[in-house]
């Protein structure tokens, strides 16, 4: 091979490296900058995400009113806000006073429950001597103090710096205002995002945004109904079992359902701690109630209300809760599942449909990645890209 040929080959290789490395390097730099920005503004992005969820609810409520009446959208939007405020006022008037009273009674009787917990730990050590090094003697008070400390930390963590007294009102107003604007004119922001997309990808971007909206809408309403059913069944069951503060525990169970798996576990165990003084049978019945309620929810209610648009694989859901919780704190748990749903939409629309050409196996449906259209018939001789 001549020197000129070698030089030409080296020049071509250098040009290829520049073509591929320069965009790649730019992508890496932009990704790092984006991650740094997300890390610095995580709390603010959390506020935006909560505002989007509220806007999705208001927008869907408005669309439902428009579809069932001859009202214009502005009037339907105002009606949706008024109806929501009326429901919240009804909840506040009917449920909040007894819940506050029961919570105060629960707090007042906490020393009594602590004593009961210590007695039960002592009985447990007598029955199982191997537990002596862990919860025996002086260790009992340490265990109880550790539990109380963890509970206090959890409650304090629910109000991180972004929600402290100094900024809480500003953040609340900001979330509500953003939600109202997003719900009132969603097309404005959709068009803005689409306009930032290269022209040849704008239809894809519009489809992705539409799929995200459908998924979030399905999740919001399914989650609200699921929380109501869980709270109602738990409250009725605890009332039948004569558990103190049954209404407070029922509402807590409904609210905790927004955090998959971990919220369910906490809502099942917490009421059982407050019937320890009534004996092992009462504890077993309360735990059994929690198991039965969540078996009913998981096998009968959830399959009916959570459509395929919001079908999320359990392992990814748990990992999402753990990762988002560690990054954004306890409040981030509220948005962990919808964030996962959005990520799965992006993977399905971009990776599966655009990159892989809709060729994912049917088992992908169990991972929330089922393609929006069936893969082409291999015998037809056509490809997904044609």
Tell me the per-residue pLDDT of 81-96, one tens digit each, with 9 for 90 and over. Answer: 999 999 888 887 877 7
> For 43-57, 268-282, 286-300, which range has the lowest pLDDT when averaged over its residues?
268-282
Of 372 and 109, which is predicted with more confidence? 109
Q: How many Cα atoms sit within 13 Å of 311 on the Cβ side?
A: 14
Contact 286, 269 (CB under 8 A): no
Q: Is the pLDDT of residue 128 over 70?
A: no
> For 16-30, 270-284, 290-304, which range has the lowest pLDDT when averaged over its residues?
16-30
> pLDDT confidence of 265, banded at 50, 70, 90?
confident
Cα gap 335→343, rounded to integer Å: 12
CA–centroid distance for 90 within its chain: 26
What mean pLDDT value characterizes the chain?
75
Contacts (Cβ under 8 Å, ≥6 apart) of 181 = 55
Structure confidence at residue 365 (pLDDT): 47
Contacts (Cβ under 8 Å, ≥6 apart) of 311 = 365, 366, 368
Cα gap 117→1, rounded to integer Å: 86
Structure confidence at residue 35 (pLDDT): 59
Contact 102, 245 (CB under 8 A): yes
Tell me the per-residue pLDDT of 302-337, one tens digit each, with 9 for 90 and over. Answer: 777 665 556 677 788 888 888 887 777 777 788 888
Characterise 307 by phi-psi region: left (phi > 0), alpha (psi -120 to 50), beta (else): beta
Going by C-alpha positions, the residue among 315, 233, 305, 316 that lies closest to residue 268 is 233
Structure confidence at residue 374 (pLDDT): 42
pTM: 0.68
Structure confidence at residue 239 (pLDDT): 92
């Amino acid at each position: 091979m001549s020197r000129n040929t070698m030089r030409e080959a080296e020049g071509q290789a250098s040009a290829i490296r520049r073509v591929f490395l320069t965009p790649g390097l730019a992508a890496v730099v932009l990704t790092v900058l984006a991650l740094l920005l997300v890390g610095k503004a995580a709390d603010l992005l959390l506020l935006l995400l909560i505002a989007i969820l509220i806007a999705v609810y208001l927008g869907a409520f408005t669309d439902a009113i428009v579809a069932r009446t001859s009202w214009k959208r502005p009037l339907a939007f105002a009606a949706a806000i008024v109806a929501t405020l009326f429901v919240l006022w009804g909840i506040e008037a009917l449920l909040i006073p007894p819940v506050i009273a029961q919570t105060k009674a629960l707090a007042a009787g906490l020393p009594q429950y602590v004593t009961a917990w210590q007695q039960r730990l002592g009985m447990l050590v007598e029955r199982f001597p191997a537990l002596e090094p862990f919860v025996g003697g002086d260790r009992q008070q340490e265990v109880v103090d550790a539990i109380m400390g963890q509970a206090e930390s959890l409650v304090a963590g629910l109000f991180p710096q972004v929600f402290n007294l100094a900024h809480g009102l500003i953040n609340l107003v900001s979330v509500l205002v953003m939600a109202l604007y997003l719900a009132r004119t969603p097309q404005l922001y959709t068009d803005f995002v689409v306009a930032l997309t290269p022209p040849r990808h704008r239809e894809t971007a519009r489809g992705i945004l539409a799929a995200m909206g459908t998924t979030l809408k399905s999740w919001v309403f399914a989650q609200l109904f699921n929380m109501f059913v869980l709270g109602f069944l738990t409250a009725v069951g605890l009332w039948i079992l004569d558990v103190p503060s049954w209404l407070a525990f029922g509402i807590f169970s409904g609210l905790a359902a927004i955090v998959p798996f971990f919220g369910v576990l906490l809502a099942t165990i917490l009421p059982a701690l407050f019937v320890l003084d009534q004996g092992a049978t009462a504890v077993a019945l309360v735990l059994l109630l929690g198991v039965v309620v969540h078996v009913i929810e998981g096998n009968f209610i959830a399959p009916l209300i959570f459509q395929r648009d919001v079908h999320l694989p359990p392992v990814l859901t748990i990992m999402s809760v753990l990762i988002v919780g560690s990054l954004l704190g306890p409040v981030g748990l509220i948005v962990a599942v919808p964030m996962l749903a959005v990520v799965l939409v992006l993977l399905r629309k971009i990776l599966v449909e655009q990159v892989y050409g809709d060729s994912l196996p049917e088992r992908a449906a169990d991972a929330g990645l089922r393609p929006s259209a069936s893969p082409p018939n291999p015998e037809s001789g056509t490809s997904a890209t044609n």
